[in-house]
Structure 1
C-alpha cells in the first residue's frame, strides 16, 4: 500500500444500508471510513421505508431532506388474484388502527442513496473513500482493506455492506445458502389517471405478487411485478404504451389509464442467507447477509435494522471498553440479526412459494391466514405492528423520535 489510514470501523459498500451504518457510527463520535463508489442504477425501484426506518433516518438527520420526496403508505390492500377455490375477500390494513399516520413512506431508491451520500460527505468523524475495495485482510490484531487506487484503510472492525454478491462475505469462509426462484420482477414508475389516495395494493397472482406503491403527487406509483422469467423478459421488450396497457389490465384498471413515467428494471429473483452475519473482525449487513424477493417491504428495512443494530453493538463495546471487532462484542448483534433475518426471510419465502405451488391445501392455508388477519382485530393489529418494527430487540434509534 502506498499509504494507510486508521479508523475504528470501516464500512465497505455505498448503498443505503452501508451509508446508514456509517452515519450512525460517526454520529456517536466513532472514527469511521466509508469505502465505495457511487454507482446509481436507473431501474425504477423504490423503497417503502417503514416507520422504524423513518425514525432511524430522522435520528441521523437525513429524513428532513428525504420526506418531501416520499409518499405516505396509509393503507395496505391485499387482493388474492390466484383464481383459487379458497380465495378470500380483499384484506384492508389501515395504519391509524395501530396509532400511526402511515405504515411507512415510499421514496425512489436513487434519491434515498443520493441524499444519504450528500450527508455522509459532510458528517463529522466520517471519511468517504470514493474507491472500490480490492482485497482485505483480517486477523486477531486488526483488519486492512486495499483500495483500487492503491491506498489502504485499517480498522478494528470491517462492516460488509457490499451487496448480494459480497466479496467480503465470499472471502470470510462463512456458510452461505443461496437459491433462485423461477421468477423475475419488472420495476418501473407509473403515472395514472385516478389518485392512489396513499393506498398500496398488492395483488397475489399465480406467478407472484403484483404491487403498486404510492409516490408523491397522488397520481404516480411504483411497480414491482413478479412473474415467470420468460414472460418477464417478453414484457420488458414492449414499448412504453404496450407495457402500460399490460400493467393497467393486471391492475384491473383500479387507477385508470396508466403511462410509464420513469426508468425500468428487470430483476432476477433469488434468495440468500448466512449461517451467521459475523466472522473475525467482520459484520455483514444488508444484502451481504440476506437476500429475498421484494415482498412486504422487508428487504431494505431489514438492512437498516442491521445498520442500527450494529451501531448499538459498537457503542456498547466502547462503553464496556471492548474491542468492537471481537467475537464477544459482536455476539449479541449476531444472534439478534440472525433471528430477525430468519423470520422475515422465511415468511417472504413461504408466501412466494405458496403462490407458485397451485396446490389446494396450500391455497387453503394461505387463504385462511389472510381471512383471519382481515377479520380478527387483535391478530390484525399484532401482525401490522410486527410488520412495521419487531417489538423485541428493536435497535435504539428505531424505537422513537
Structure 2
C-alpha cells in the first residue's frame, strides 16, 4: 500500500545522506496529470513520491478522455471506478455558425468508422482526480506527501525539494506537474513562450429535455467555439462556451434561468430546454509552450510544458501522453534523472506538443477573423473532411491517438 505521511524512508545509494529521503522520482503536483505520472511510474516499481496538496476545484469543468488516455487509465487500474461516471462520445459534429459567406455543411465524425465504440469518454474533472487519488493510495512504491514544494536545489546525483512547513524530499528526478505558472519551471530558468486571446471560456453542467444520443456538438462562432459534450444519463451535458471577454463576463453574471435560456438559443434548441445543473467556471484563454521541457534533473509535464485553449479535447490528453511517455523514458534506467533519459523524453514530446498547440491555435484564431481567405480555408477543410472518407478517417485516428511515438501503455 502507498504511504501518506511526511516521508522518512532511507535510501541505500552510495553517497546518499543517511537522514534524507531518496526516491527515484518525485512528482510535484496532485492534479490529474501529476497523479497519472506518479501511478505510471510506481506501477513499474519505480520508487515515487507525489508531492502536493489534494484540492480539486468544482468549476463545472469536464474532460473528454480520448481512447489512448482511457487505455492508460485501464493499465493503471483506475478505469473500472471511472467508467460508470463517464459518458461515451460516439459521434462528434462540427457546425459552422460564423455567418461566413462560405458556410460548409456540418461535419459528422463517427467513432465506428475507425473501429471504435467511442472517440473517448467525458467525465467531470473533480471525479477523475478523486478516482486517481484513491488508486494512488493503493499502490506500493508510491508515497503521498500532502505538502506543497517550496523550492528545489541540485546535488551531483539528486535534486532536493524543500517542503512548506519544513522537511525535504530528495529524488533522482523531479517531475513538474505544477501547472501553467509552474514555480519549478520558472526557478529552473526554462524558456517559455506565452500568449493570450481576447476570450474567456464559460464552463458549466447542463440538464436538457432531449437526449444527446452520445453526440458531442461544437458550434464554430465568430467569438470562438461553443461546445456541448455528453454526460451520463442521456439528458446532461457539459458546456464550454468560448466568447469575447466582455460577453463571457456578462454571461457569467446572469442568474441560472437567464443563462440557461441564452445557452438554449446559442445551441439552436437542439437539446431542448436547458437548466443549469452544476457549478460554473470562467477560464481565461491563454497559451504557453516550452521548446525543451527538461532541465537538470527536471522534466515538465502537462500545463507546466504546454497550455492552450479548451478546444478539441487536446489539452489534458496531451498531458496524459506526457505522463505515459515519461514512464517509457524512465523504464529500466539506473538513474531516472540522467541527461540521456531526459534528452530522450524531450525529443519524444516536442513534435506532439508542437502539432497539438499549433492546430488548436490556428483553429481558434481563424474563427476570430472575418478575413475571407481564412473563412474559405476553414470551410474548405471542413468540407473535405465531410466528403473525403480516407482523409476523415486519418484525421479521426490522429486526433484520438497519434500514430508516431505513442507511449507503450496507450497503444491498442
TM-score, normalised relative to structure 1: 0.97
Q: Is the 8 A contact 1:139 1:280 kept in 2?
A: no
CA–CA separation in structure 2 for the residues paired with 1:110 and 1:79: 29
- Residue 370 of structure 2 corresponds to residue 334 of structure 1: no
Instruction: Encode CA deviations 1:236-275: one digit per residue, 9 max, x unaligned.
Output: 0000000000000000000000000000000000000002
Which residue number in structure 2 is paired with residue 123 of structure 1? 139
Q: Is the 8 A contact 1:139 1:281 kept in 2?
A: no
Which residue number in structure 2 is paired with residue 346 of structure 1? 358
Number of residue pairs matched?
A: 396
CA–CA separation in structure 1 for the residues paired with 2:344 and 2:101: 46
Which residue number in structure 2 is paired with residue 190 of structure 1? 206
More displaced 10-residue stretch of structure 1: 297-306 or 133-142 = 133-142
**Aligned ranges 1:45-124 → 2 under 5 Å:** 45-124=61-140
- Residue 397 of structure 2 corresponds to residue 397 of structure 1: no
Which residue number in structure 1 is paired with residue 29 of structure 2? 13
CA–CA separation in structure 2 for the residues paired with 1:280 and 1:297: 31
Which residue number in structure 1 is paired with residue 293 of structure 2? 277
Instruction: Encode CA deviations 1:344-400: one digit per residue, 9 max, x unaligned.
Output: 000000000000011000000000011101100000000000000000110000003
RMSD (Å) for aligned C-alpha atoms: 1.1
Which residue number in structure 2 is paired with residue 136 of structure 1? 152
**Aligned ranges 1:209-358 → 2 under 5 Å:** 209-316=225-332, 318=333, 321=334, 323-358=335-370
- Residue 379 of structure 2 corresponds to residue 367 of structure 1: yes
CA–CA separation in structure 1 for the residues paired with 2:339 and 2:389: 43
For residue 178 of structure 2, give the secondary structure of its aligned residue in structure 1: coil
CA–CA separation in structure 2 for the residues paired with 1:305 and 1:95: 21
More displaced 10-residue stretch of structure 1: 288-297 or 1-10 = 1-10
Which residue number in structure 2 is paired with residue 42 of structure 1? 58
Q: Is the 8 A contact 1:57 1:63 kept in 2?
A: yes
**Cα shift at 1:121:** 1.4
**Cα shift at 1:291:** 0.1
Residues 128 and 7 (structure 1), Cα distance of their counterparts in 2 relative to 1, 3 Å cut: same
CA–CA separation in structure 2 for the residues paired with 1:106 and 1:275: 30
Which residue number in structure 1 is paired with residue 3 of structure 2? none
Instruction: Encode CA deviations 1:220-251: one digit per residue, 9 max, x unaligned.
Output: 00000000111111110000000000000000
* Runs of 5+ consecutive residues of structure 2 not aligned to the other structure: 1-5, 9-18
More displaced 10-residue stretch of structure 1: 272-281 or 328-337 = 328-337
For residue 4 of structure 1, give the secondary structure of its aligned residue in structure 2: coil
CA–CA separation in structure 2 for the residues paired with 1:275 and 1:144: 25
The counterpart of 1:26, out of the listed 38, 42, 46, is: 42
CA–CA separation in structure 1 for the residues paired with 2:402 and 2:188: 29
CA–CA separation in structure 2 for the residues paired with 1:105 and 1:313: 27
CA–CA separation in structure 1 for the residues paired with 2:170 and 2:79: 31
**Cα shift at 1:335:** 1.0
**Cα shift at 1:139:** 4.2
Instruction: Encode CA deviations 1:6-28: one digit per residue, 9 max, x unaligned.
Output: 10000000000000000000000
Which residue number in structure 2 is paired with residue 178 of structure 1? 194
Moved over 2 A (4+): 1-4, 138-141
**Cα shift at 1:212:** 0.2
Instruction: Encode CA deviations 1:151-204: one digit per residue, 9 max, x unaligned.
Output: 110000000000011000101111110111000000000000000000000000
- Residue 381 of structure 2 corresponds to residue 381 of structure 1: no
Which residue number in structure 1 is paired with residue 11 of structure 2? none
**Cα shift at 1:86:** 1.1
* Runs of 5+ consecutive residues of structure 1 not aligned to the other structure: none
- Residue 164 of structure 2 corresponds to residue 164 of structure 1: no
CA–CA separation in structure 2 for the residues paired with 1:35 and 1:274: 23
- Residue 169 of structure 2 corresponds to residue 153 of structure 1: yes
CA–CA separation in structure 2 for the residues paired with 1:58 and 1:170: 34
**Cα shift at 1:4:** 3.4
CA–CA separation in structure 1 for the residues paired with 2:149 and 2:137: 18
TM-score, normalised relative to structure 2: 0.95
